[in-house]
């Protein structure tokens, strides 16, 4: 009987420690895996491809007052702020944050 009570006490101690931490302070555990996050980066619009699909290029943001520099090759991305059935009106040179969603690159920038 004491072995069963000891097991219950041990489980309660472990539960308390996982909630409060070993020093009595709250602990937060975050578990991540390599593919579990959304990839996002800054881009510059180069030109309109068709409808609300634009040709964009990734940029590196530098210190304040410095112009971002382009890196990599152009890719296509969909502007979610515009209609899917009308021609896009976003001017070239617009900066935005682009995210990868499923197999599409998307960004949101109002014209």
Quick one: average pLDDT of 73-99?
94
pLDDT of residue 36: 60
Strand partners, 50: 53
- Give residue-wise pLDDT tens across range 20-48: 545 555 555 555 556 666 678 999 999 99
Using CA atoms, how far apart are residues 55 and 24, in angstroms rounded to an integer?
53
Domain ranges of the chain: 1-30, 40-107
pLDDT of residue 4: 60
And the tokens for 87? 């021609």
pLDDT of residue 89: 94
- Give residue-wise pLDDT tens across range 11-21: 776 676 665 54
Query: Residue 107, exposed/middle/buried by CB under 10 A (0-12, 13-18, 19+)?
Result: buried
Quick one: average pLDDT of 97-107?
90
What is the pLDDT confidence band of residue 102, given thresholds at 50, 70 and 90?
A: confident
3-state secondary structure (DSSP) of residue 52: coil
Above pLDDT 90, what percent of the chain? 57
Q: Are 56 and 45 in contact (CB under 8 A)?
A: yes
pLDDT of residue 31: 53
């Amino acid at each position: 009987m004491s072995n069963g009570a000891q097991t219950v006490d041990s489980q309660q101690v472990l539960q308390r420690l996982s909630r409060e931490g070993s020093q009595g302070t709250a602990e937060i555990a975050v578990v991540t895996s390599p593919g579990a996050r959304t990839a996002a980066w800054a881009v510059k619009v180069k030109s309109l491809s068709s409808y609300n699909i634009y040709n964009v290029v990734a940029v590196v943001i530098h210190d304040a007052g410095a112009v971002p520099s382009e890196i990599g090759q152009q890719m296509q991305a969909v502007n979610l702020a515009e209609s899917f059935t009308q021609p896009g009106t976003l001017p070239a040179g617009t900066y935005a944050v682009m995210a990868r969603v499923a197999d599409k690159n998307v960004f949101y920038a109002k014209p």
